[in-house]
Amino acid sequence: MSINLFDLTGKTALVTGGVHGLGMSMAKGLGHAGAKIVVNDRSSWEAVNNAVAEYKSVGIEAYGYIFDVTDEAAVIENIKKIEAEVGPIDILINNAGIIKRTPIIEMEVEDFAQVINVDLISPFIVSKTVAKGMIERGGGKIINICSMMSELGRQDVSAYAAAKGGLKMLTKNMATEWAKFNIQTNGIGPGYFATSQTAPIRVDGHPFNEFIISRTPANRWGDPEDLQGAAIFLSSKASDFVNGHILYVDGGILATIGKPSNE
């Protein structure tokens, strides 16, 4: 009997912050593979409703909720609501995140702490809450969205890099503790992607555009759909013995020290 290892039919996936951008692209991939999609935003029903409408317009069953992923009480309350109203959460993608671009010497402690709170502590809160149900039911999939900054430093993103480096190690520790419960915990580390946020710098002649193209062996920015295969793989039976890894979808950036300037 043939088995479709990548079929997510009947699964429910929570993608935090999946109301736009790369989170929405990954959620669409899971939805097209058969999963029901649940997304959240911290405060905007407009963003949630627009996202749900977008998912439904391409044939994906989707639901939206409002809650702050850094508020443990709100997370616990809304996970209960989601599992009562939509179904048990089989797949969690911790995608919600922020970045503040400030030199270390100029960065306020409050701003540094806010980035750590959203990008590192919230995956801890949401994962531990969802994992309790996964343990009771005998398994699940958790995907933490890491970054190139889980491995590399860059100017003016110290808090983000600290959080994403910590998230890489949190992923490994979640795998260490929860693999025995048939929970696979892994991460995805996106490279540099063509999104609405990067549009102003993805123009010929812009220094950062030239830097990314020259630094990436694939010689291009990533397309948001390039993340869908990784998300489906780590959400499906195909990854049932994959645990504690970060899958970098980066066009080869981490594989090289770069090209000579005269190439």
Q: What is the set of active-site residues?
A: 160
pLDDT score recorded for residue 258: 76
At 1, the pLDDT band (50, 70, 90 cuts) reads: very low
Tell me what percent of the residues of the chain surpass a pLDDT of 90: 90
pLDDT at 175: 98
**pLDDT recorded at residue 263:** 57
Phi, psi of 190 (to 5 degrees): -65, 145
- For residue 141, pLDDT over 70 is answered with yes
- Closest by Cα among 51, 58, 69, 61 to 121: 69
Please state, rounded to an integer, the average pLDDT across all residues of the chain: 95
pLDDT given at position 28 = 98
Per residue in 86-128, pLDDT tens?
999 999 999 999 999 999 999 999 999 999 999 999 999 999 9
Q: Comparing 115 with 154, which gets the higher pLDDT? A: 115
At 218-243, the pLDDT tens digits run: 999 999 999 999 999 999 999 999 99
For residue range 30-60, list pLDDT tens digits in order: 999 999 999 999 999 999 999 999 999 999 9
83: number of CA atoms within 13 Å, CB side?
18
**pLDDT surpasses 60 at 84:** yes
Q: Could you tell me if 185 and 173 are in contact, meaning their C-beta atoms sit under 8 angstroms apart?
A: no
Does the pLDDT at position 2 exceed 60? no
- pLDDT band for position 82 (cuts 50, 70, 90): very high
Region class of 133: left (phi > 0), else alpha (psi between -120 and 50), else beta: alpha
**Which pLDDT does position 197 carry in this prediction?**
80
